[in-house]
Chains A and B, each alone.
Chain A
């Protein structure tokens, strides 16, 4: 009972390999689809093929007669026409909120929306019967274009709302008193020969989170509590929202997120399918399983991004920025997701980024269309903001003839200026943009690549080199509850933790964060090992089950370490405080004379001491403990952060563009991120790599498009092109650290950094490679075709318009002609 960690080898900062890997590399996993219960029935959703239509009839006869079918149900059959799925973020008091039904009952509002469900004894039988459900539709005009949707006389997605505008949210630094007036800044710049007003429009294409594990849930109603297993990031929120949606008492619900295969924001929703499984489990008294296919997931799981950004920047000719005016249109899709309307608002505070703008105004209008709803996707609002500011800084540099990095240096907050309160009223606690940038530029060989670029330009090389910069920051660690309150967000931003000292000295840590790939079990074990002075191996982290971890707000917004990790520290402090009392009692010393280090309580100036495990055992035995306390070391904590955290970094990309074909080849990517203190560098590196890949994928590969009928044309992984290993290079990633001052660990969060930073670095590099050819913009993703067309247009050559429809004879699997499915196939 005297084993303690060696105090000279702190866990903090150690590149521990992950505890959670053991089950994941051997196939001993429990993803939701692996949960099978006796008598379980399988749910299949009949989805609308049309974007906008009136349902005129549903004939269930044939489906009901199909083998193995238990029932076929519409919303009316289930009595859930009046049930609406929750939106927890009413961004304005007069925000228009359509009811989002579990199943469309009169009108379908996007292609993929559920119309009926089949319940059968096997998944195959449910699938077979779904083909036999005949739904009659009266097509309505789809609403696809945000600008058209806002025009007078536009077809309305929800006629009862009287408009396609969901809400308009405004932040004006002049009105808020956090800065000066943008109108004055623009007028002043227009009147000043030594100033410039620059306007640009950027398009944030629609993306699909595309977590690798499709969504799934299993609901077992047979116990005293209804148990829900779900592939979710948010088991706690799902439990509360199930109560809000269906009225099942929260105490009668247990939600378990077993192994969850990625989320990236895509699994923060409360799904109609989850609610239908609960309703049907109650109705039938049987366990129900729902498991979506990838095609269903791409079609019906929430999408991300999809904004039109009109940006106006004003600056002095010497490069000093004087104002930023941001006008956004944000596509909500057909309904509001759990936090969908607030996603663009999260970006409002990040458009000024690391720059000292005196004036900023942000206006965002959210728009309904007949498309799949949008909600959080990795970065949620902040990648969009970072893209716009980093792109327009490059545009400004070109207009002013200033080297783009020099322009940034001229405007950023210098390291002596922290803490710095920005034009939107946020206080950045720490950072050092100079240091990260210097280190990145050296690793990148910025000067050398600029020389090579000059040479290639001069020689008219067919392969041109482009260099792209993104000096980003983000606000993460969502979030101070009071700030969320001021934004009308429907929850707090705290996180909970508990620590249980077991009799034998082992430690159970319970967190309200819910990991789905982040490595919490490892990183939190490291924190606790240091806090309590116990071996890393002796710590068990428990999470993702409301019965085990009853209190929590789950995992999103780079919050798990910055908020959840601090809650664990606070709980550990309480454990140590309790143990100290018992130690003093057992060592017959004053509590003031007890010191705690490396897991051992010692009496100052003596060699008398007891390990924390001994104290835990003594508390368990309870034979001898102070009278004024209970015999236990366990502790709970809830931590509510006072501020966001502000990771930052300098990302540099070099692309080679084959000007004959338009192919973009990412040759080099260097980033230096300041994420504060690093708990586990191995995990940090992994988070950055993955984040980069997703941000680069937005820049180069991915897009979710709809045809003029409102059909998603990227409805499989054939058409929604995730990059493979062969499409990406190795990245040169490193960190510098200016510890956060807002929390005791000095941590800032790393989950979203790579995604937020990388997209503009890539697009800036693509345009930089082509700028001398006259190219001023390439829409994302910068496919070879778009790049080639941009070059042709710059040359004055007219080119053909690209059809959006991918279903041409030669597009591979997606090309199988649905009208001729019997074609010769072997």
Chain B
């Protein structure tokens, strides 16, 4: 057993884990953060994407012990005081999800992308989410949603002031 101390969605946890425990399994099974999903076993699908110290990672490819001392944000931690993150809103408005299984990872990666590139063109969005597979949408509405969220998150837009800073900061 190894000890992991980690802050997940703003809450501090300390747990003993087997070193082999993947971060995604720790989140789901120990912390009950079942919003983060597992879609493959080769790091291709991105369904398990979370933010680790502000950067998107595939939580199936990080050991829980590697997250010791880190801050983790999951899909369950990006809405603020009941208000959805602009990317969440945009996914609903643009019908960017169907079965919803890729959605948590897709949203977390989209937030990271917008942190790096606040105004991406279509190709930049497509490349920015290339590590997240979706089988339902053909990606078109996901691309629309990310671009729409980018507009909402621009400085001066009404939504922007309500955006949690740590999340809007995304990949930085």
Tally of chain A residues near chain B (CB < 8 A)? 59
Q: Is residue A447 within 8 Å, beta carbon to beta carbon, of the partner chain? A: no
| Most-contacted residue by chain B among A26, A36, A211 (CB, 10 A) | A26
Q: Are A17 and B139 in contact (CB under 8 A)?
A: no
Q: Is residue B36 within 8 Å, beta carbon to beta carbon, of the partner chain? A: yes
The CA of A264 and the CA of B127, in the complex, are separated in Å by 26
Q: Is residue B157 within 8 Å, beta carbon to beta carbon, of the partner chain? A: no
Q: Are B138 and A689 in contact (CB under 8 A)?
A: yes
Q: Is residue A193 within 8 Å, beta carbon to beta carbon, of the partner chain? A: no
Instruction: Please name all residues of chain A whose beta carbon is closer than 8 Å to the beta carbon of B125 when the two chains form the complex.
Output: 725
Q: Which residue of A lies closest to B88 (CB)?
A: A25
Q: Are A29 and B34 in contact (CB under 8 A)?
A: yes
Min Cβ gap A693→B in Å is 4
The CA of A689 and the CA of B138, in the complex, are separated in Å by 5
Instruction: Please name all residues of chain A whose beta carbon is closer than 8 Å to the beta carbon of B33 when the two chains form the complex.
Output: 27
How would you classify the secondary structure of chain A's contact residues: helix, strand, loop or mixed? loop
Instruction: Please name all residues of chain B whose beta carbon is closer than 8 Å to the beta carbon of A726 when the two chains form the complex.
Output: 126-127, 129-130
Q: Is residue A13 within 8 Å, beta carbon to beta carbon, of the partner chain? A: no
A294, A517, A813: the one contacting B136 at CB < 8 Å is: A517
Q: Is residue A779 within 8 Å, beta carbon to beta carbon, of the partner chain? A: no
A261, A293, A518, A727: the one contacting B41 at CB < 8 Å is: A293
Q: Are A261 and B93 in contact (CB under 8 A)?
A: no
Q: Are B97 and A295 in contact (CB under 8 A)?
A: no
B98, B127, B140: the one contacting A262 at CB < 8 Å is: B98
Given A689-B140, A725-B125, A516-B41 contact (CB < 8 Å): no
Q: Are A716 and B40 in contact (CB under 8 A)?
A: yes
Given A17-B93, A21-B92, A26-B75, A725-B142 contact (CB < 8 Å): yes
The CA of A20 and the CA of B88, in the complex, are separated in Å by 13
| Most-contacted residue by chain B among A293, A294, A516 (CB, 10 A) | A294
Given A17-B92, A261-B101, A717-B45 contact (CB < 8 Å): yes
Instruction: Please name all residues of chain A whose beta carbon is closer than 8 Å to the beta carbon of B7 when the two chains form the complex.
Output: none
Min Cβ gap A719→B in Å is 9
The CA of A728 and the CA of B139, in the complex, are separated in Å by 8
Q: Is residue B26 within 8 Å, beta carbon to beta carbon, of the partner chain? A: no
Q: Which residue of A lies closest to B75 (CB)?
A: A27
Q: Are B101 and A212 in contact (CB under 8 A)?
A: yes
Q: Is residue B76 within 8 Å, beta carbon to beta carbon, of the partner chain? A: yes
Min Cβ gap A740→B in Å is 24
The CA of A499 and the CA of B51, in the complex, are separated in Å by 44
The CA of A24 and the CA of B98, in the complex, are separated in Å by 9
Q: Which residue of A lies closest to B104 (CB)?
A: A27
The CA of A27 and the CA of B132, in the complex, are separated in Å by 17
B42, B93, B139: the one contacting A725 at CB < 8 Å is: B139
Q: Is residue A214 within 8 Å, beta carbon to beta carbon, of the partner chain? A: yes
A17, A23, A27, A261: the one contacting B99 at CB < 8 Å is: A261
Instruction: Please name all residues of chain A whose beta carbon is closer than 8 Å to the beta carbon of B129 when the two chains form the complex.
Output: 724-726
Which chain A residues numbered 15 to 47 have a C-beta less than 8 Å away from chain B?
17-18, 20-31, 33-34, 36
Instruction: Please name all residues of chain A whose beta carbon is closer than 8 Å to the beta carbon of B57 when the two chains form the complex.
Output: none
Q: Is residue A210 within 8 Å, beta carbon to beta carbon, of the partner chain? A: yes
Tally of chain B residues near chain A (CB < 8 A)? 56
The CA of A511 and the CA of B31, in the complex, are separated in Å by 34
Instruction: Please name all residues of chain A whose beta carbon is closer than 8 Å to the beta carbon of B84 when the two chains form the complex.
Output: 25-26
The CA of A692 and the CA of B47, in the complex, are separated in Å by 22
Q: Which residue of A lies closest to B85 (CB)?
A: A25
Q: Are B75 and A731 in contact (CB under 8 A)?
A: no
Q: Mark B9-31, 1 if CB is under 8 A from A, else 0.
A: 00000000010100000001100
Q: Is residue B95 within 8 Å, beta carbon to beta carbon, of the partner chain? A: yes
Q: Which residue of A lies closest to B44 (CB)?
A: A717
Q: Mark A660-690, 1 if CB is under 8 A from B, else 0.
A: 0000000000000000000000110111011
Min Cβ gap A421→B in Å is 35
Q: Is residue A213 within 8 Å, beta carbon to beta carbon, of the partner chain? A: yes
Q: Mark B96-116, 1 if CB is under 8 A from A, else 0.
A: 011111111001000000000
Instruction: Please name all residues of chain A whose beta carbon is closer than 8 Å to the beta carbon of B37 when the two chains form the complex.
Output: 29, 31, 33, 213, 261
Instruction: Please name all residues of chain A whose beta carbon is closer than 8 Å to the beta carbon of B20 when the two chains form the complex.
Output: 124
Q: Are B91 and A519 in contact (CB under 8 A)?
A: no
Q: Are B135 and A690 in contact (CB under 8 A)?
A: yes
The CA of A295 and the CA of B95, in the complex, are separated in Å by 30
A28, A517, A518, A683: the one contacting B35 at CB < 8 Å is: A28
Which chain B residues numbered 63 to 77 have a C-beta less than 8 Å away from chain A?
74-76
Q: Are A731 and B138 in contact (CB under 8 A)?
A: yes
B34, B76, B133, B139: the one contacting A212 at CB < 8 Å is: B133
Q: Are A294 and B40 in contact (CB under 8 A)?
A: yes
Q: Mark A243-264, 1 if CB is under 8 A from B, else 0.
A: 0000000000000000111101
Q: Is residue B39 within 8 Å, beta carbon to beta carbon, of the partner chain? A: yes
Q: Are A516 and B99 in contact (CB under 8 A)?
A: yes
Q: Is residue A722 within 8 Å, beta carbon to beta carbon, of the partner chain? A: yes
Q: Are B99 and A718 in contact (CB under 8 A)?
A: no
Min Cβ gap B148→A in Å is 12
Min Cβ gap B140→A in Å is 5
Min Cβ gap B132→A in Å is 7
Q: Mark A519-546, 1 if CB is under 8 A from B, else 0.
A: 1000000000000000000000000000
Q: Mark B142-159, 1 if CB is under 8 A from A, else 0.
A: 110000000000000000
Instruction: Please name all residues of chain A whose beta carbon is closer than 8 Å to the beta carbon of B34 when the two chains form the complex.
Output: 27, 29-31, 33-34
Min Cβ gap A688→B in Å is 8
Q: Are B100 and A730 in contact (CB under 8 A)?
A: no
Which chain A residues numbered 731 to 749 have a C-beta less than 8 Å away from chain B?
731
Q: Is residue B169 within 8 Å, beta carbon to beta carbon, of the partner chain? A: no
Q: Are A724 and B132 in contact (CB under 8 A)?
A: yes
Instruction: Please name all residues of chain B whose beta carbon is closer than 8 Å to the beta carbon of A210 when the two chains form the complex.
Output: 135
Q: Is residue A694 within 8 Å, beta carbon to beta carbon, of the partner chain? A: yes
Given A725-B139, A728-B138, A260-B99 contact (CB < 8 Å): yes
Min Cβ gap A26→B in Å is 6
Q: Are B138 and A21 in contact (CB under 8 A)?
A: no
Q: Are A690 and B100 in contact (CB under 8 A)?
A: no
The CA of A106 and the CA of B45, in the complex, are separated in Å by 37
Instruction: Please name all residues of chain B whose beta carbon is closer than 8 Å to the beta carbon of A730 when the two chains form the complex.
Output: 122, 140, 143
Q: Are B74 and A27 in contact (CB under 8 A)?
A: yes
Q: Are B92 and A18 in contact (CB under 8 A)?
A: yes
Instruction: Please name all residues of chain A whose beta carbon is closer than 8 Å to the beta carbon of B91 when the two chains form the complex.
Output: 21, 25
The CA of A548 and the CA of B130, in the complex, are separated in Å by 40
Q: Are A722 and B97 in contact (CB under 8 A)?
A: no
The CA of A315 and the CA of B99, in the complex, are separated in Å by 45
Q: Are B45 and A212 in contact (CB under 8 A)?
A: yes
The CA of A725 and the CA of B140, in the complex, are separated in Å by 8
Given A17-B95, A27-B33, A31-B37, A211-B135 contact (CB < 8 Å): yes
The CA of A616 and the CA of B75, in the complex, are separated in Å by 40
Q: Is residue B6 within 8 Å, beta carbon to beta carbon, of the partner chain? A: no
Given A18-B92, A293-B41, A717-B44, A24-B143 contact (CB < 8 Å): no
Q: List 10 A-B contacts (CB under 8 A).
A: A23-B100, A26-B35, A26-B88, A259-B99, A262-B99, A683-B95, A686-B95, A694-B135, A716-B40, A717-B40
Which 9 pairs, one residue from A and one from B, show the smallest C-beta to C-beta distance?
Answer: A27-B35, A261-B101, A24-B100, A517-B99, A693-B138, A689-B138, A517-B98, A717-B44, A34-B34
Given A690-B137, A693-B137, 6 more A-B residue pairs with CB atoms under 8 Å apart are: A21-B91, A23-B100, A24-B103, A213-B101, A717-B42, A730-B143
Task: Tell me the A residues contacting B by CB distance below 8 Å.
Answer: 17-18, 20-31, 33-34, 36, 124, 210-214, 259-262, 264, 293-295, 516-519, 682-683, 685-687, 689-694, 716-718, 722, 724-728, 730-731, 754, 813
